[in-house]
């Protein structure tokens, strides 16, 4: 019996291991490795894959699981916070991109319907690639990450009306207004279902499931929720990926979201690899070699034009030049849903099957391959752009900063970023009476917090003028809490230059960011991944009775050594993980004092336990209170529970004191 799909899966994974190993050695992103695998193994490469349709099906599962996990890590509250980026930013970006590429297509001789359709194809970006890269770079929560996410969510929604207007463009449509009206009603019904499920249904359902304490039932339930919502949206004319994202949002509001995410991640990574491989399989190498310069030229034009449009859209949302450039590059590629839309266009002859379609495929795949490299170099491109003589208003954003002379006088704290960490810092400063000022790049956050009386203003702290507004020359401390590693480095260097005496505390996600930040002038760098570990091992060692001074010394050595000693923990550290190892002849026992015990009413000193019996009373529990290390005047009472330290052979004699006489 022949199993072509099983054989193809083996070929894909085996080839992927080889390609990814080479890519990692030469520091090429793994996404590009999977795309190369698809190019090599696909029908236009070595022709190793025969079950092409089945691989494409599994790739769709990968996109669904990606959007599902993004939804779990997000929340409805977070989605509401970026509603401006979704609906205003997304709509402007899609409309302007369609218009721009419509004009280009008309100039090269395409008909009006074909030009509109080409604009729709180019307006969509790759949610799968961009979100995966932003997650790997820990930039989802950054201003450009959240703005990119908002635009991508709108694009995933926009694919539905785009598919609906294809028959109309081809002159074969029915009543398009009726179709759109029905679609809006369906979408409203889904939103109501999401709200009701989030509020009442899913929480109760998952609570009953978790009570079984069965991992298999919990995992299957999570998968069923994802598939059910995705299938519902698809059956109503929306996309599977959008439904999966909504399913993730539903689960994100429950206390079981972290467990659900941990269960799904391995499946997501496996199926998502099929997606990137399937995209690579579409590329016709023979066509590329015959039209290399034309494809490269068009690819560069698409990336540049889409970047400019997305950057302009970001500027309309009030963000500075830095965020404009980063968002523009992030969504500059052609997306996976463009391939879905292109198949519809082929059915209605809006794409010429041979040259036009192959040109579209080649350009789209190349933009995807280029995306990881573009995002890698984008921080350096931003720095280069900021050195150009652009207007200051463009560099700092359309929301003017205000002078804070009347808010803080001197010795104040400057907090850059008002996320969770920034809020906690300012809350502590407020309780301690420390004057502070916050610099934030999200206009909506600034508007809302300013209304609540927070000393916060809008601005990009990578600009010198913003720090001057914050009074850096008179400040004592700068705390950087933002998630953008590149911006953190730039702000650190700028703050040190503007005020050589200021104390700079920088937060970073990863250990490898510490050394560059120290080199740029940071006084303290707090890496989140290891501070969590420090807190964990502190509590573990405390439970294992390691002396507190040794724990503190170990913590100080870890931090002073740049956390390097975590990798080579000293085996000479004093450890009493078990008292029997450090003191083999000593044990701890507990005894309850009887009602008529001879020591009831006596003080610890009068019992002379240490002198007569050679044991030590460590603590006494009375009702719900524990008295540690009681003094000699402590008086015993009936039903006290006494903790005694001593040799086991002495316990038999001393415990007679505690029982009824």
Each residue of 565-581: pLDDT tens digit? 444 433 444 445 445 55
Burial class for 460, CB neighbours closer than 10 Å (0-12, 13-18, 19+)? buried
Q: Is the pTM of this model over 0.85?
A: no
CATH of domain 585-657: 3.30.70.1450
225-275 confidence digits (pLDDT tens):
888 888 887 887 766 777 887 888 888 777 777 777 777 877 777 877 887
Q: Is it the case that residue 421 has pLDDT exceeding 70?
A: yes
Q: Is it the case that residue 180 has pLDDT exceeding 70?
A: no
Cα-based distances in Å from 268 to 243, 251, 275, 279: 16, 16, 11, 17
**CATH homologous superfamily of domain 400-508?**
NAD(P)-binding Rossmann-like Domain (3.40.50.720)
| Mean pLDDT to the nearest integer, 465-478 | 86
Confidence of residue 583 (pLDDT cuts 50, 70, 90): low
Contact status, residue 218 vs residue 263, Cβ threshold 8 Å: yes
What is the Cα–Cα distance from 618 to 637, expressed in whole angstroms? 16
Sign of CA dihedral 176, 179, 185, 186: negative
Where helices occur in 452-577 by DSSP H, the ranges are: 464-469, 485-498, 514-520, 528-543, 548-560
The pLDDT value recorded for residue 333 is 92
45-69 confidence digits (pLDDT tens):
888 887 777 777 777 777 787 778 7
Confidence of residue 400 (pLDDT cuts 50, 70, 90): very low
Q: Which residue has the higher pLDDT, 152 or 32?
A: 152
Going by C-alpha positions, the residue among 377, 320, 345, 402 that lies closest to residue 142 is 320
Q: Tell me the fold of 4-386.
A: Na+/H+ antiporter like fold (1.20.1530)
Where does the chain hold its CATH 3.30.70.1450 domain(s)?
585-657
User: Residue 634 has what DSSP assignment?
Assistant: P
What is the Cα–Cα distance from 422 to 404, expressed in whole angstroms? 18
DSSP string, 237-268: TS-HHHHHHHHHHHHHTSTTHHHHHHHHHHHH
The pLDDT value recorded for residue 104 is 93
Cα-based distances in Å from 541 to 90, 151, 246, 554, 619: 51, 47, 42, 11, 21
Q: What is the dihedral of CA 207, 211, 215, 219, to 10 degrees?
A: -20
3-state secondary structure of 523: coil
Q: Is it the case that residue 86 has pLDDT exceeding 80?
A: yes
Q: Which residue has the higher pLDDT, 41 or 443?
A: 41
The pLDDT value recorded for residue 101 is 94
Q: Which residues pair with 626 in a beta bridge?
A: 621
Going by C-alpha positions, the residue among 541, 540, 651 that lies closest to residue 586 is 651
What is the Cα–Cα distance from 526 to 506, expressed in whole angstroms? 6
Tokens representing 102 are 């419509």
HSE-up of 476 (CA within 13 Å, CB side)? Answer: 10
What is the Cα–Cα distance from 153 to 419, expressed in whole angstroms? 22
Give the length of the chain.
Answer: 661
Where does the chain hold its CATH 1.20.1530.20 domain(s)?
4-386
Where does the chain hold its CATH 3.40.50.720 domain(s)?
400-508
527-540 confidence digits (pLDDT tens):
876 666 677 777 77
Q: Is it the case that residue 307 has pLDDT exceeding 90?
A: yes
Contact status, residue 334 vs residue 351, Cβ threshold 8 Å: no
Confidence of residue 402 (pLDDT cuts 50, 70, 90): very low
Confidence of residue 465 (pLDDT cuts 50, 70, 90): confident
Confidence of residue 92 (pLDDT cuts 50, 70, 90): very high
Q: Is it the case that residue 176 has pLDDT exceeding 60?
A: no
Query: Under the phi-then-psi rule, with left for phi > 0, alpha for psi from -120 to 50, and beta for the rest, what region is 569?
Result: beta
Tokens representing 272 are 């998502």
Q: How many CB atoms lie within 10 A of CB 115?
A: 22
| Mean pLDDT to the nearest integer, 281-297 | 87
pLDDT > 70 in the chain, percent: 87
Q: Is it the case that residue 467 has pLDDT exceeding 90?
A: no
CA 293 to chain centre: 38
Q: Is it the case that residue 301 has pLDDT exceeding 90?
A: yes
Q: Pairing relation of β-strands 616-622 and 625-628?
A: antiparallel
What is the Cα–Cα distance from 606 to 594, expressed in whole angstroms? 18
Cα-based distances in Å from 339 to 52, 346, 424, 527, 611: 15, 11, 45, 41, 87
Q: How many CB atoms lie within 10 A of CB 30?
A: 18
Give buried/exposed letters for 596-632 (b at 16+ CB in 10 A, else e).
ebbbbeeebeebebeeebebebebbbeeeeeeeebee
Q: Is it the case that residue 37 has pLDDT exceeding 80?
A: yes
| Mean pLDDT to the nearest integer, 108-116 | 87
Least confident of 71-75, 370-374, 427-431: 71-75
């Amino acid at each position: 019996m022949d199993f072509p799909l099983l054989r193809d899966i083996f070929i894909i994974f085996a080839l992927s291991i080889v390609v990814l190993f080479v890519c990692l050695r030469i520091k090429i992103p793994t996404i590009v490795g999977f795309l190369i695998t698809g190019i090599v193994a696909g029908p236009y490469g070595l022709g190793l894959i025969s079950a092409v349709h089945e691989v494409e099906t599994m790739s769709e599962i990968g996109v669904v699981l990606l959007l599902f996990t993004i939804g779990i890590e997000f929340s409805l509250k977070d989605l509401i916070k970026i509603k401006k980026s979704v609906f205003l930013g997304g709509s402007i970006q899609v409309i302007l991109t369609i218009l721009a590429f419509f004009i280009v297509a008309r100039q090269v001789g395409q008909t009006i319907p074909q030009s509109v359709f080409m604009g729709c194809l180019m307006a969509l970006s790759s949610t799968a690639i961009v979100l995966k890269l932003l997650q790997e770079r820990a930039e989802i929560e950054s201003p450009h990450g959240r703005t990119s996410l908002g635009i991508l969510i709108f694009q995933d929604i926009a694919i539905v009306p785009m598919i609906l207007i294809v028959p109309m463009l081809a002159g074969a449509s029915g009543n398009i207004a009726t179709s759109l009206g029905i679609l809006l009603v369906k979408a409203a019904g889904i939103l109501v279902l999401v709200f009701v499920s989030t509020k009442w249904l899913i929480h109760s359902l998952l609570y009953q499931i978790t009570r079984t304490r069965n991992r298999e039932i919990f995992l299957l339930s999570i998968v069923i929720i994802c598939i059910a919502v995705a299938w519902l949206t698809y059956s109503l004319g929306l996309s599977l990926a959008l439904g999966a994202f909504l399913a993730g949002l539903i689960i994100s509001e429950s206390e079981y979201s972290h467990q659900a995410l941990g269960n799904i991640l391995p499946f997501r990574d496996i199926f998502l690899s099929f997606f990137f491989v399937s995209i690579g399989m579409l590329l016709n190498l023979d066509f590329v070699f015959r039209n290399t310069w034309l494809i490269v030229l068009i690819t560069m034009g698409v990336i540049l034009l889409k970047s400019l449009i997305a950057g302009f859209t970001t500027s309309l949302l009030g963000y500075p030049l830095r965020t404009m450039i980063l968002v523009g590059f992030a969504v500059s590629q052609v997306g996976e849903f463009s391939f879905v839309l292109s198949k519809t266009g082929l059915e209605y002859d809006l794409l010429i099957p041979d040259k036009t379609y192959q040109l579209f495929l080649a350009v789209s795949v190349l933009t995807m391959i280029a995306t990881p490299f573009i995002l890698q170099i984008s921080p350096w491109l931003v720095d280069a752009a900021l050195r150009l003589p652009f207007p200051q208003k463009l560099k700092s954003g359309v929301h003017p900063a205000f002078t804070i002379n009347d808010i803080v006088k001197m010795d104040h704290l400057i907090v850059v970023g008002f996320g969770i960490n920034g809020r906690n810092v300012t809350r502590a400063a407020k309780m301690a009476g420390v004057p502070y000022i916050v610099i934030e790049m999200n206009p909506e956050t600034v508007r809302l917090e300013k209304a609540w009386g927070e000393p916060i203003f809008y601005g990009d702290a990578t600009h010198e003028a913003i720090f001057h507004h914050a009074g850096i020359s008179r400040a004592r401390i700068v705390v950087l809490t933002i998630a953008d590693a590149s911006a953190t480095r730039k702000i650190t260097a700028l703050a040190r230059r503007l005020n050589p005496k200021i104390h700079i505390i920088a937060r970073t996600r990863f250990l490898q960011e510490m050394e560059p930040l120290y080199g740029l002038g940071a006084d303290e760098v707090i890496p989140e991944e290891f501070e969590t570990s420090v807190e964990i091992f502190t509590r573990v060692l405390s439970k294992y009775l390691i002396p507190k001074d040794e724990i503190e010394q170990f913590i100080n050595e870890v931090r002073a050594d740049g956390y390097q000693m975590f990798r080579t923990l000293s085996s000479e550290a004093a450890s009493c993980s078990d008292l029997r190892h450090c003191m083999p002849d000593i044990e701890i026992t507990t005894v309850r004092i009887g009602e008529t015990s001879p020591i009831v009413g006596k003080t610890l000193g009068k019992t002379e336990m240490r002198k007569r019996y050679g044991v030590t009373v460590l603590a006494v529990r009375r009702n719900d209170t524990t008295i540690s290390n009681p003094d000699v005047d402590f008086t015993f009472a009936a039903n006290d529970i006494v903790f005694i330290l001593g040799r086991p052979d002495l316990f038999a004699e001393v415990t007679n004191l505690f029982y009824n006489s």
